[in-house]
Each structure stands twice: as C-alpha cells, then as structure tokens.
Amino acid sequence: MDSSTVDAGDTGCVSNLIVDEGSGVDKCWSSDDALESEKSAEFLTSTGNTSLRKAGSFKNLNHQSSCSLLDELKLLNSLTWLKAQNKLPAGLALHEKDEYPQNFERGLEDGKKKREMGSESCPTSGPYTVQEENPECNDSAQFPSCPSKSVKTLFPLRQSKTLTFGTCVTQPSSKPRLPKFSAKKLSRKRDLRRLYDDNDREVNDVNQTELNGGTDNCEISEVSRGKKCKRDFSSNGFREFLTRESGHEGARKRKHNSVGLKSCSSQQVNICYRKARPIVCGKYGELANGNLDGDVPKPAKVVPLSRVLNSARRCTLPKNCNPKSTSRRELKKTSPNGAVVSSDVCHNHTGCGKINDTPMEKEKKECSVGDKKIRKELTKLEHLGDDQSEKDHSKLGGIAHAQLKLKSKEIRKRSIYELTDKGKDPSFDSSSFSKISNCLPAKKEGKLLKTAEDSKLGLCKLSSKSSTLEHQCHSDLDSDAFCCVCGSSNKDEINNLLTCSQCSIKVHQACYGVSKLPKGHWCCRPCRTSSKDIVCVLCGYGGGAMTQALRSRTVVKSLLRAWNAETECMAKNKLSSVKTLQKDSSGLHCSGYGHQDNSSFFVLQREDGRPLVSAVCKMGMSYKFDVMHNSITVGLLDSATKQWVHMVCGLWTPGTRCPNVDTMSAFDVSGAHPRADVVCCICKRAGGSCIQCRVANCSAQFHPWCAHQKGLLQSELEGVDNENIGFYGICVLHATHPTCESNHDPVNTEAGCIEEEELTCARTEGSKGRKRDGFRHNYCDQSKGNGGCLVPQEQLNAWVHINGQKSSTQGLPKLPVSDIEHDCRKEYARYKQAKFWKHLVVYKSGIHALGLYTSRFISRSEMVVEYVGEIVGLRVADKRENEYQSGKKLQYKSACYFFRIDKEHIIDATCKGGIARFVNHSCVPNCVAKVISVRNEKKVVFFAERDIFPGEEITYDYHFNHEDEGKKIPCFCNSKNCRRYLN
Ligand SMILES: C[S@@+](CC[C@H](N)C(=O)[O-])C[C@H]1O[C@@H](n2cnc3c(N)ncnc32)[C@H](O)[C@@H]1O
C-alpha cells in the first residue's frame, strides 16, 4: 500500500484524474505519469488534464496555481507586515481584524491532530490523499507542491478533501478570521487578481460540494460578470478578500443572493461574493440555498441571461443573417478579407460584412492566430511523423488522406447542405448531385444518369435539362481530380492518383490496390478487360471505380428479382401499358417471362437480339419503362460475362470479402444479403444491397454507392487498439438535420437503442443499470443490419499490405486513421488553443437546476466542451455511487455526474470536474458526446450536432439505460419529441 500523497496542482481543475482499483487497494495515479516530455506536460496542463501526481514526482508540477496562491498569501502576509511597520502603501487600509490570522497554525494543529486520531480520514486510511486545488486546504503538510515554507504559515485558504478508496471526505476548515481590506481600494484587488491570470476556466474545479464550506462556483460567478470574476475561486481567502472588500454594500447584496446563482454584483465589476453554493435538492433537483444552517432563504437574484450574454463576448447574430446559412464553410467564405477566421468571429461577418466591436476584432485575431498556430502545430506534427500526421495517412492510401480529404469533405459537407436546402426547394434539380458526382468518369456519367433517370431524389433526370446537367457534370470533373473511392484529391509519391486512360476515372493506388506505379498509361480493370456497360452487382449502378465481383449469383438474382418485382407488378396491372411502351420503345420486343431459380423476369430483346431486362419505376400514377442493357442482363444469357462491383460497395457492404489482398482485384460478394424489397431512400429504387443509416432508430436504407455520391459515407477506426475499421453511412436527413426525429421503425428500435446506449452515455442511476456496458469496441455483431459493418480483415489487410510495402522504405506502417478521428483531434486542439470554453456559462436551467449555456455561436461539428473529472474503475464508481446516494450531499443524491467512457472506466465529475458536468439531457440535443483518443488518452468530448446560437443551453442525450417503472426519472427537456423519461 503506497502512502504517497498526491497533489492537485495546476489551475484548479483536477480533471481526468485517474483513480484506479487494484487488488483491493485503490490507487490514484496521474495521467501525467505517462508524460514523456515537458511539452506533453504543458499540453496536458493546457488541456486541463489531471494534475495528480504521485509523491516524489512533484518536480513536474506546474507551479502556476500554487504560485498564484502563494503570491496571494504572500501579498496578504506582506500587507500585514507592512501594516505592522506602518508602511502600508498609500490608499490601502488593512484593519486589524483583517490581518494575517495568527490562530491559523493552531487551527492547523487541531486539524492535524484530528486526522491523526482518524476522525476525518477514511476508516481504511487510504493510501493516497488527493488534494483538490479548489477545496480549501488547511494542512500545508498536504501541500508538498508548495515550494516555499511560507505556505505553512498561511491562513487556511482551502479545505482539503481526502480521497481514499475513491471516497471523498471533506475536512472542514478551521475557519480563522479572514483578512478584510478597505472596500475602496479595488485597484489593489486588481493587482491581486492579476495573480490569478485568466487561466483555463474549464480546468477550474467546479466542485460544488461543501454545503458549509462555501466554495464558490467559478462558472456561476462568470454568469454575471463574464470574464471578470471567473478566475480561480479555489482560494477562499481571495473570495473573502473580495467579499469583504465590498463592505456593507456587499453584505446588502448578499441578502439577495441566497441561491448563489449569481455571486457577482452587477454593479461592482470586480467583486464576487462568497456564497454558499446552490445545491440541487429533492428528487427533481429544485434549487436550494446551500446554506442549511438555519438562514432564512432569500429569493435568488437571477440575472437575465440576456444580460449575461450582453456582458459576455458579443457574438450576436446579425439581423439579416439566416441561421440556416451559418455552416462554418459558409462563414469562412463570407469573411470579407478572405482570411480564415473562427466561426464565431465570422458569424459577425456573415451577411453583415463588419465586425461589431473591438473585442470581437481581438477575438478574431486570437482565433485566427490560434488557428494558425494549430495549423502550424499540426503541420509540424505531421512532418514529424506523428500518428495523427497526414503523411502517414497518405501512406495508407486514399481512405486515410485526411488532410486534403478534409478539404474534399468540406466541399462535400457544403454540397450536402446545398442539396438539402435545395431539396426543400421545389426548384431544386439534380445539378447539386452532379456537382458532387465528381468521381464519376465522364464517360460513365451519362450511364448513371440513365440508370437513375426515374429516381425522384437527387439523381439527374433525363429531361430537357439533361444535356446541360451532363455538361455541368463533365466540367466539374474537369476541374477536380478526386479519387473515386475515398473522395480525396491528395496524392504523393507513394500513393498516386491514377487516371484510367480510357474511362478517365481516378483512383488512388492504395484505394484500388495498385502497388506498383504503372509506367505509361494505366487502365482500370473493366477497361483492361474491355468490359462495356458494366453495372455493380450490389447496387445496379454503373460508373466509378469497379473491380471484379466473385460469387455474385445470389446478389444478381436478388437484383433481378427486385427489378422484376416491379416488372411483374406492371405485367399484372399494366400489361397494356407495357405493350404500349413496347410499341413506343423503338427496336424493342418482349420475349416474355424468363424463369431462373424460381424467379421470373421479363427478358426484353432488341431487334438485334441483345437481351434487355426491363425495370419499371413508379412515376406518379403512370409507369415508365426503363430499359437497361448491362453486364447483369448480359450475364443472364452468357454466364461467362464478368460481373463487377464498385470498390465503394465492396467496402461498405457488410459481408463482402476481398480474397486478394495484394491487388484488391476482386470482391467476393456472396456474403452480402441484398433484399429485393428494400428501397434505397436516396435513389428510390428497390433492390441491391443497402446499408442502414447509422443514427439509432433511423430506418433509412440506401445503397452505399448512392450515399457515396452524396458524401454520406463514413469510416472510423474502432476497437480498443483501433484494430478495426467500421464503415457507416448516414442518411441525408441526419447528415443535414442531426436532431431530426428518425422514422421510427419498431423492428429496429431495440437494436438502435442498444447501439446508441453503447456509444457514449452517462451512467445510469445505480450501478446495476449498466446492462450493456461497453463502448463500441467491436461492431461485428451489433452493427449488422444497423448501418455499420466491419470490414473483413482481408480488406484491412489490403490497405495495410500496400502500406506495409511502401512503408518498408518510407517509414513505419500505420493503421489508417479515419477522417472523423482526425477531424475530432484537430478540432480538440483548436478548441484548446482558442480556449472556447470561455464562452460557456453556467446558469439556471429550464431543464434541471443549473445548465451550461453558450454565449457565442457554435457551428455544427465544432467541439463544445470536454467532460472532465476523475477517471475511476467500475468498482470505485460503484462505491462512490453508494456513498453519494447515502451521503449528506443532496445534490449528489439527485443528480448523476458519471460518464462512462468504456467498459471499465467512468468519469466521475461529482466532486471534481469541469463545466461539462452541468450539461443537461435533452431528447433532442444540440450536442453529441464522443470518446476520442488524444495521445493515447481517452477524452469525452461534446461536439455540436447542429449550429448552436448564443444563449442556447448545451444539451446532449444521456442515453441512460432503461429502467422499470418506479425507477424512472422524468425528463424535463421540454422538447417536442421528449421521451418523457431519462431512463
Ligand atoms: C450531470 S447533472 C446535470 C447538471 C445538473 N443540472 C446540475 O445542476 O448539476 C445530471 C443530472 O441532472 C438531472 N437532469 C439532467 N437533465 C435532465 C432532464 N432533461 N430532465 C430531468 N432531469 C435532468 C438529472 O438528475 C441528472 O442526473
């Protein structure tokens, strides 16, 4: 049992402390232990990571907070001394009762004795003592980080918390008299405040414990005074100092401040009152005064949020701005000088072309400088071969070409956006589709257009516009050079973008399995084999990069069945129409039904004898005949005909395999299970292999190929060691309106819930609620039929193989890092750099007790906040949960601050945590929580699911496990589609 004392240094927040459980002995250890360099330490500090350190490793402590505390104390001490010497600076008064308390040491001694007698420690006298920055510390002996002895002589600014076996036991401070300064001399206070620099607010401990300890909540303070009061309230001395400074007026104001929602006077800019913390009482969490010692509660003086927002940085929407047109991309575009500026700054530019005020300008500068810095840092990392580096990605092939893919992704995002907007617009035509169909070879574009001519949504229609559209498609193709598989235009010497000399499609070597750069012309496989009119056996569409399909009989049959179902339908109901159509279709005649393996279909023949299969699509009430002549129909009569599959369909369709990992020259599609009755929600055609939208409860199904056209495909690294890649698709609706209610599919509801719950969720009330523990480590089983699939190992091998070959000369092989993962990390770095948490405020919530609000515009997919707290194992979490439930602290009983990050770990933000602990649940949230990995550390990060406007409360879906009646927690999210219960 190690009796090391650990210290919370840094800036007040003991975030992501890792409290592990061992063989009966809980250990606290620091994630900083894993730090390899000073730089990493800095990074962690700036990112608000744990500051716990084992005893003996305090060398690495960030002295910032202990120094600022020290400085404060020194200052007070000095003032006392100065007063004794009659040398107090002019204008500064120090009353006797405010002087440095001489009884402090006695208080310390008392406290120490008590602890020695075991009265305040955990019965098991845990081996570690965790000192929070924020809680008051009354024992300098537990402050090994304080370099100066003077700490020992300081008055009890803090109340310490002993964390033993995962238990927090509050040690009441020996409350000595605290210094009180003249109310007039606020300038001195400013000096003092300077000691508390405008540091990372998120990393401030927002511990809202101590009903009687009176720790203020820095975020609450911020509500009323914006930035001014937000700094380290870890020091009660400082608070007291400020409080008393305000003199009688402060006292008067305190009367109106009993709930403590607002601890800053609205008039006295720099004053924060020391208040009892608000607590959440009762089952539904009514706010109550934290002071339970008989004070008559006074009504809270609640400052209107509008005022808070006004006093916070101004990020108001320009009047003429259309909220819908605020995607980051667009905002960036509208920046008048063309500079890349952060979204909130750009926001002011949107439609207005001017910046409102100087702070905004400053912010803009900060942000763009921040952006630059991040970019620089990332570039540096990339050059250094960091695992996030783009170069490594590119080594792995087009799929992993994150940096430039980002560009292409953004283009896609915009395209989706435009599509959606236009989709709503009756004037929408397929031009948007053509814009994003840039991977279609010019030659084959027309083919796709033809085959999709009857679709109602998105696909180009052969109409009077068709020539224009095709022309547009072609010109898009001319200007862009994107890989047909991954969508990236990136290329490098080891992964070239090849162009087929015949059909002009472009593919990365790695995406198509071309390990050697061909000398001279290169041809794709269908062109090499002179295959004409080929269509993919999985989706029925032509165009794009294809490879051979093996064992395709079943899928072909299914496709034909789907087509034929429509034909049959027509035959039964509209036979006369068929005849009419036949007559109308020059050069065609019907050879009647064909039968093959119990499935029947029309076989139509041209006059020259070439076989055709008819397909009929509904077009309103009439039927239209669409005759196709393609590799599938030809294959009906000639079994030697080669069948083909899109690389994209091969990769994204569950059940396919790639037997030849060297060349990816073929996919075995026999494992795919197309359903003839499933209609693709993008092209509206039945048949082919569809995947389901990855959003839980969404029953939308679509062909991977159709989704690819719209940039709706996603791939992510998964598994504990990122050993798997999950392939997903998202429907247009959820890509553009993530919060939209899904089509409720009763068949898939349960599965959807399981998946969603296992994604990222707050822990349920009660440990036995962890029915389905675990983050999605392995999608193999769960994802089937739910939109996701794991790529078979062979396919992965293909990528790794080609990379391996290259990397033997070019560097270490690395698994591809998905775009999303890369983007998340990049976004995380950007967020930290720009300190975006500064725009978040804690304020009374309409949903429950306190909530987190934004005072700036946050565009969709931006990082909003990180959920920080102590990382504990399940056993510790269970123990704590019991303690919280049975303890005195009411707010712990009624609110859950646990967030499960994976099978074994939970972030407990109950006692120590960041502002994300105030994020309430909503059934229609504006954020989504994701677990991302930053330097091998798991982080829980909230990303905006849609644009969030200043003044909106931040919410996410808790995904609590379902509980039986009686244990249900009513939901007060007030959303239209509220599920009524949290669990
Ligand atoms: C992490 S806390 C959220 C912050 C909390 N409002 C506070 O003031 O500390 C989570 C708890 O808030 C409450 N809560 C959050 N969202 C809620 C909702 N939509 N309806 C009812 N209670 C909610 C639940 O008691 C839940 O256990």
Question: Which tens digits make up the pLDDT trace of 235-280?
Answer: 344 344 334 444 444 444 433 333 332 333 333 333 333 443 333 3
The CA distance from 512 to 527, in Å, is: 14
Tell which one of 287, 921, 927, 981 to mutate to probe ligand 1, the residue whose CB is within 8 A of the most ligand atoms. Answer: 921
Distance 920 CA to ligand 1 centre (A): 5
Contact 541, 689 (CB under 8 A): no
Among all chains, which residue has been given the structure tokens 């602290």?
A: 889
Q: What's the CA gap between 954 and 845, in Å, rounded?
A: 10
CA 116/CA 125 separation, integer angstroms: 10
**Reduced to 3 states, what is the DSSP secondary structure of residue 100?**
coil
Distance 979 CA to ligand 1 centre (A): 15
Q: What is the spatial distance between Cα 787 and Cα 712, in angstroms, rounded to a whole number?
A: 12
Q: How far is the CA of 848 from the centre of ligand 1 (A)?
A: 5
Structure tokens at 289: 């005064």
Q: How far apart are CA 15 and CA 144, in angstroms?
A: 19
Angle 29-30-31 (CA atoms, 0-180°, nearest 5)? 125
CA of 840 to the centre of ligand 1 (A): 17
Which atom of ligand 1 is nearest the CA belonging to 762? 1
- Rounded to whole angstroms, the maximal C-alpha distance in the chain is 115
CA distance 911 to 884: 10
Nearest to 156 by CA among 140, 133, 180: 140
- Please tell me the CATH code under which domain 824-956 is placed: 2.170.270.10
- Which of 219, 848, 926, 979 should be mutated for ligand 1, with most atoms under 8 A from CB? 848
- Put the strands of the sheet holding 724-729 in their side by side order: 713-718, 724-729, 789-790
DSSP-based three-state secondary structure for 117: coil
How far are the Cα atoms of 570, 665, 699, 741 from residue 745, in angstroms, in the given order?
A: 29, 38, 6, 11
10 Å Cβ neighbour count for 52?
A: 29
d(CA 743, CA 675): 20
Residues 932 and 822: their CA atoms lie apart, in Å, by 10
For residue 956, what pLDDT is reported? 92
Q: How far is CA 475 from CA 411, 445, 479, 481, in A?
A: 16, 12, 6, 11
Tokens, residue 922: 């909503």
For the chain of 983 residues, list the mean pLDDT of each consecutive stretch of 10.
Answer: 32 43 32 32 34 30 38 60 68 51 40 45 30 34 33 30 31 40 40 40 39 34 36 40 42 36 34 37 33 41 52 41 36 35 32 38 47 50 39 38 34 26 31 32 33 30 28 35 75 77 86 83 91 88 90 86 64 41 36 35 42 36 46 81 90 82 82 84 86 84 88 72 71 73 37 32 33 26 35 50 37 42 80 90 90 91 91 89 80 81 87 90 91 84 91 90 82 89 86
User: For residue 634, what pLDDT is reported?
Assistant: 81
920 lines ligand 1 (CB under 6 A): yes
- What pLDDT score was predicted for residue 245? 41
Ligand 1 atom index nearest CA of 923: 19
Burial class (CB in 10 A: 0-12, 13-18, 19+), 339: middle
Run of H or E including 622: strand 622-628
910 lines ligand 1 (CB under 6 A): no
CA of 895 to the centre of ligand 1 (A): 6
Report how far apart, in Å, the C-alpha atoms of 714 and of each of 171, 677, 931 are. 51, 25, 17
In 69-137 the beta strands, taken as DSSP E runs, fall at 129-131
| Closest ligand 1 atom to 278 CA | 8
| Helices 819-834, 358-384: crossing angle, 10 deg rounding | 130
User: Closest ligand 1 atom to the C-alpha of 895?
Assistant: 27
Is the Cβ atom of 841 under 6 angstroms away from ligand 1?
Answer: no
Of the candidates 406, 467, 401, 398, the residue with the CA atom closest to the CA atom of residue 434: 467
Q: Ligand 1 centroid vs 921 CA: distance in angstroms?
A: 6
* CA distances in angstroms from 37 to 62, 73, 382, listed in the order given: 13, 31, 18
917 ligand 1 Cβ < 6 A: yes
d(CA 276, CA 213): 7
In this structure, are strands 666-668 and 546-550 parallel, antiparallel, or unpaired? parallel
Contact 433, 709 (CB under 8 A): yes
**What ligand 1 atom has the least distance to the C-alpha of 891?**
9
Q: So what's the pLDDT on residue 376?
A: 57
- Best residue among 920, 926, 974 to mutate for probing ligand 1, ranked by most atoms within 8 Å of CB: 920
Cα of 893 from ligand 1 centre, angstroms: 11
The domains of the chain are located at: 204-311, 824-956
For CA atoms 490, 495, 500, 503, the dihedral sign is negative
Give the distance (Å) from ligand 1 centre to CA of residue 222: 20
C-alpha pair distances (Å), 835 with each of 48, 366, 454, 899:
11, 10, 50, 23
Collapsed DSSP state (helix, strand, coil) of residue 492: strand
DSSP character for 97? G
Q: Which amino acid is at 505?
A: I
In contact, 503 and 521? CB cutoff 8 Å: no
Give me ligand 1 centre to Cα 178, in Å. 35
Question: Is 918 touching ligand 1 by the criterion CB < 6 Å?
Answer: yes
Helices 186-195 and 236-245 cross at an angle (nearest 10°) of 160
Question: CB within 8 A of 338, min separation 6: which ones?
Answer: none
Cβ atoms of residues 446 and 609 within 8 Å: no
Is any atom of ligand 1 closer than 6 Å to the C-beta of 848? yes
| C-alpha 972 – ligand 1 centre gap (Å) | 9
For residue 257, what are its two tokens?
A: 């401040």
Strands of the sheet containing 905-913, edge to edge, are 26-29, 17-21, 869-873, 905-913, 898-900, 761-762
972 lines ligand 1 (CB under 6 A): yes
Verify whether ligand 1 is closer than 6 Å to residue 850 (CB atom).
yes
CA–centroid distance, residue 891 to ligand 1 (Å)? 10
Q: Whose CA is nearest to atom 26 of ligand 1?
A: 895
> Is the Cβ atom of 913 under 6 angstroms away from ligand 1?
no
The answer, yes or no, to whether any atom of ligand 1 lies below 6 A from the CB of 728, is no
Residue 702 three-state SS? strand
Tokens of 560: 């034909």
CB of 897 closer than 6 A to ligand 1? yes
Q: How many CB atoms lie within 10 A of CB 477?
A: 21
Residue nearest to atom 8 of ligand 1 (CA): 850
Residues whose CB is less than 8 angstroms from the CB of residue 580 and which lie 6 or more positions away in sequence, other chains included: none
| Ligand 1 atom nearest residue 850's Cα | 8
Strands (E), 493-621: 497-499, 506-508, 546-550, 588-596, 599-606, 611-619
Model confidence over 160-172: pLDDT tens digits?
332 222 333 334 3
Ramachandran sector of residue 959 (left: φ over 0; alpha: ψ -120 to 50; beta: rest): left
852 C-alpha to ligand 1 centroid (Å): 11
List 790's β-bridge partners, or say none.
726
What residue's CA is closest to ligand 1, atom 4? 918
The residue behind tokens 């360099």 is 37
User: pTM score, two decimals?
Assistant: 0.34
* 892 CB near ligand 1 (under 6 Å): no
Q: What is the pLDDT of residue 88?
A: 63
Span from the CA of 766 to the centroid of ligand 1 (angstroms): 15
Buried b (16+ CB within 10 A) or exposed e, 345-371: bbbbbbebeebeeeebeebbebbbebb
The three-point CA angle 352-353-355 to 5° equals 90
Which of ligand 1's atoms lies nearest the C-alpha of 972? Answer: 20
CB 442 within 8 A of CB 504: yes
Structure tokens at 640: 């030697």
Ligand 1 pocket residue status of 847, Cβ below 6 Å: yes
User: Does residue 971 have its Cβ closer than 6 Å to ligand 1?
Assistant: yes
Question: Is any atom of ligand 1 closer than 6 Å to the C-beta of 925?
Answer: no
Query: Does the beta carbon of 973 sit less than 6 angstroms from any atom of ligand 1?
Result: yes
* In contact, 535 and 822? CB cutoff 8 Å: no
Residue nearest to atom 17 of ligand 1 (CA): 921
**Burial, 210: exposed, middle or buried (Cβ in 10 Å; 0-12, 13-18, 19+)?**
buried
pLDDT confidence of residue 925 = 92
Ligand 1 atom with the smallest distance to the CA of 765 is 27
Report the sign of the C-alpha dihedral through residues 244, 249, 255, 258, in that order.
Answer: negative
Cβ atoms of residues 531 and 642 within 8 Å: yes
Alpha helices for 209-351 (secondary structure H): 218-225, 236-245, 247-255, 305-311, 328-334, 343-349
Query: Which ligand 1 atom is nearest residue 909's CA?
Result: 1
741 burial level (CB within 10 Å; 0-12, 13-18, 19+): middle
Ligand 1: centre distance to CA 947 (Å): 23
Q: Do the beta carbons of residue 505 and residue 445 sit within 8 Å?
A: no
The burial of 268, by beta-carbon neighbours within 10 Å (0-12 exposed, 13-18 middle, 19 or more buried), is given as buried
The reply to whether ligand 1 has any atom less than 6 angstroms from the CB of 894 is yes
Q: Which helix (H) or strand (E) holds 383?
A: helix 358-384
The atom number, within ligand 1, closest to the CA of 897 reads 1
User: Ligand 1 centroid vs 914 CA: distance in angstroms?
Assistant: 15
Question: What CA–CA distance (Å, rounded) separates 359 from 461?
Answer: 51
The structure tokens listed for 466 are 């068709």
